[in-house]
Amino acid sequence: MQFGVCYYPEQWPEHRWDTDAQLMAEMGLGLVRVGEFAWSSYEPARNQFTFEWLDRVLETFAQHGLRVVLGTPTATPPVWLARERPDILSVGPDGRRRAYGSRRHTCTTSAAYRQEATRIVAELLQRYGHHPAIMAWQVDNEMGNHDSARCWCDECQTAFSAWLAARFGSIDALNDAWGTAFWSMTYPDFEAVRLPVPTMTSHHPALRLAHAKFASDQSIAFLRLQFAQIRAVVPEGVAITTNFYSEDTAVDQRAAARLSGLAAMDNYPQGPQDPMTTAYHLDLTRWAGGLDGSAWIMEQQAGPINWTEKNPQVPDGQVRVWAWQAALHGYDAVLFFRWRASRFAQEMYHSGLLRHDGSPTGAFAEIRAAIAEIATVDLDAPKPSVALLQSYKDVWAIEINPHRAGLTHRSMQLDAYVAARRLGLDVAVVDSMDDLSDFEWVLAPALHITTPERISALTKALDAGANVVLGPRAMVMNRENAWSDVALPAGMTDLLGARVVETLSQTADVRVDPWGTKAGVWTDVFEVDDAEVIATYSGGTYLDGRPAAVRRANLYYAGFSNVASWTRLLAGLTGREPRPRHVETFARGDRVYSIDHKALTVDIHGVDAAFEAP
Ligand code: GAL
């Protein structure tokens, strides 16, 4: 495992680079990321390149034995370019072009922007494509962050019409698939299908899902251009990746990670402020590149940040625990953000490993200690026994139509994820199209969309002996976000021996017996033909005594959406005892590690016999 740091040499006088590099090497860091926002320092005016400073930066780091991750600077086009070619800028749903002055204000569809991105990347490759100090390239930075993935410019409109035409072939096919006769929305041609802008009341869910997919596809196409451009030049061992902020869902992170097999995420636990949510994100990116893929944390919070509501302090010991958490979740590299606190611009209140005056923060010492500790242990991990199914199409479909306030795709995912983790099980968050055959458990708490491919993937997993657990509203929508016309869960009712007949937004305090736990806000109601009832509803509504969870052979369906109910369900099925929610346990090498996220401790034991329930 390697550790590194994010650095902005263009922000600091040159005499600092050498002492900084020396300090980095001394504290055990081996990697340094530079350059991902430096376009105006590379090219202050069109075709006037000033790469000499970067030559010296690379030379300086190399002298201290540091390897470099070089960013392509396309998240921040320079002001001169935005003025010269305003068609690189994206347009909001209000029809206004986004202003320069910040970052991510570009349109990934824009031909001008793709051309300019290709041009600057070609310049970088020509100069640094074979530079021995560079061990990886980071393409762009946090695609989709700041709500930037979706754009309403004329080029996006034209491309969207073409995308739909390629998908449906004829406008009649689209009208049929989307059911546009409702509210008289029958489209006469593809040009009439406008990108969704605010309307009097809700927009069509099929159009919105198509738009979400289209926008993600455009971002992936933009990334693909750079991945291919870099791959064609750099030596084989040089890695290529792109980093996602863990909370962003508008771009299919898995599709991006599969461009190279190396996934990367930016981990700011104080964004979601819940260690289990962080753990979920870690296990999502960890497997995004495929079951054989690998993952890095390209930016790891290392002290207070500047962009949440309150930006609280980070207690002593926390940064060390975050480093351990990354290591135990199987990351190959962690780069801390950022080396020095910035004296200028938007992120002055963001901490660094060094303060504004260059003195080290508490995190500096913690990171140095964590690097030394983690280097001594064997983190060899067995393949996770649990696959938790996730796909961006389900994320978008549920986001578009949650049926009620307060329910999110992620909260449903966490119901099953937290349950599995509390039982000490390692979880790989994967797509239903990944190879599920080796998993003991396949959990699908939010598998909203049904497709023939999904049905056959689940059937195959069942045939291979996996226990498959579906969650509420499983497989209710078809791929166009239209309700399925067969019994639910679509395609699985024969195997289940039961069907879902009502999908309720629950407002009563419905409980699940025998555990007395809450049912949550989505509760499904079943009719059972030939299935075992393993839990029932109670709480004084008409649901009392009706099945809450059913099973036939190794296929299960949980009709509830609550983490305590999922925990009791999985505890019963696996025969394991849940640990407290703030404790994560990992069997690695010949040891068991426990992270206590409240006490901020990492305990290491020999193999823990208490792991299995008596
Ligand atoms: C990330 C971003 C970095 C920096 C950081 C601050 O989202 O990639 O450039 O802004 O947040 O926490």
268 lines ligand 1 (CB under 6 A): yes
CA of 307 from ligand 1 middle (Å) equals 9
At residue 608 the predicted structure's pLDDT band, cuts being 50, 70 and 90, is very low
Q: Is 264 in the pocket of ligand 1 (CB under 6 A)?
A: no
- Tokens matching residue 94: 């209000």
The rounded distance, in Å, linking the Cα atoms of 541 and 504 is: 12
Confidence of residue 605 (pLDDT cuts 50, 70, 90): confident
Distance CA 295, CA 159 (A): 32
Q: What is the spatial distance between Cα 495 and Cα 473, in angstroms, rounded to a whole number?
A: 17
- What residues are annotated to the active site? 142, 299
pLDDT tens by residue, 215-259: 999 999 999 999 999 999 999 999 999 999 999 999 999 999 999
Report the nearest atom of ligand 1 relative to the CA of 306.
12
User: How many angstroms does the Cα of residue 303 sit away from the middle of ligand 1?
Assistant: 13
Instruction: Check pocket membership of 584 for ligand 1, CB cut-off 6 A.
Output: no
Does residue 25 surpass a pLDDT of 50?
A: yes
Q: What would the DSSP string read from start to end of 210-265? A: HHHHHHHHHHHHHHHHHHHHHHTTS-TT-EEE-EEETT--SS-HHHHHTTTSEEEE
Q: How confident is the model at residue 590 (pLDDT cuts 50, 70, 90)?
A: confident
Mean pLDDT computed over 147-168: 98
When pLDDT is cut at 50, 70 and 90, the band that residue 610 belongs to is very low
C-alpha 166/C-alpha 164 separation (Å) is: 5
How much of the chain, in percent, has pLDDT values that exceed 70? 99
CB-ligand 1 contact for 245 (6 Å cutoff): yes
C-beta separation of 164 from 174 below 8 A: yes
Position 611 scores a pLDDT of: 38
pLDDT score for 604: 87
Res 614: pLDDT: 26
pLDDT the model gives residue 236? 96
The structure's pTM equals 0.97
Tens of pLDDT, residue by residue over 399-428, are 999 999 989 999 999 999 999 999 999 999
With a 6 A CB cut-off, is 8 part of the ligand 1 pocket? Answer: no
Q: Which of 251, 266, 300 to mutate to test the pocket of ligand 1 (most atoms within 8 A of CB)?
A: 266
Helix ranges, 153-204 (H): 154-168, 171-178
Q: Measure 142 CA to ligand 1 centroid, in angstroms.
A: 8
Which among 33, 39, 140, 142 is the best mutation to test ligand 1's pocket, defined by most ligand atoms within 8 Å of the CB?
A: 142
Q: Whose CA is nearest to atom 7 of ligand 1?
A: 245
Mean pLDDT of 336-360: 96
Instruction: Quote the percentage of the chain above a pLDDT of 90.
Output: 97
Residue range 445-449: average pLDDT? 98
In the predicted model, what is the mean pLDDT of the chain? 96
pLDDT at 606: 65
Buried residues in 434-455 as b, exposed as e (16+ CB within 10 A): bebeebebbbbbbbbbbbeebb
Mean pLDDT of 365-380: 94
Q: Which of 243, 246, 268, 337 to mutate to test the pocket of ligand 1 (most atoms within 8 A of CB)?
A: 337
Calpha distance 129→134 (Å, rounded): 8
Between strands 262-267 and 522-528, the pairing is unpaired
Mutate to test the pocket of ligand 1, among 74, 281, 300, 307 (most ligand atoms within 8 A of CB): 307
In contact, 85 and 116? CB cutoff 8 Å: yes
pLDDT of residue 612: 38
With a 6 Å cutoff on the Cβ, whether 266 touches ligand 1 is: yes
* Pocket of ligand 1 contains residue 140 by CB under 6 Å: no
Compute the average pLDDT of residues 455-480.
Answer: 98
Across the range 379-392, mean pLDDT stands at: 96
The verdict on the CB of residue 244 being under 6 Å from ligand 1 is: no
Using 50, 70 and 90 to split pLDDT, how confident is the model at 609? very low
**Does 336 contact ligand 1 (Cβ within 6 A)?**
no
Q: Is the CB of 341 under 6 A from ligand 1?
A: no
Residue 29's pLDDT band (boundaries 50, 70, 90)?
very high
Measured in angstroms, how far is the CA atom of residue 600 from the centroid of ligand 1? 25
As given in the structure block, the two tokens for residue 611 are 């792991």
Q: How far does CA 181 lie from the centroid of its chain? A: 36
Give residue 406's pLDDT: 84
For residue 273, what pLDDT is reported?
86
For residue 141, the CA-to-ligand 1 centroid distance in Å is 9
Rounded distance from Cα 325 to ligand 1 centre (Å):
20
pLDDT digits (tens, 9 = 90+) for 41-70: 999 999 999 999 999 999 999 999 999 999
The per-residue pLDDT for range 555-567, each reduced to its tens digit, is 999 999 999 999 9
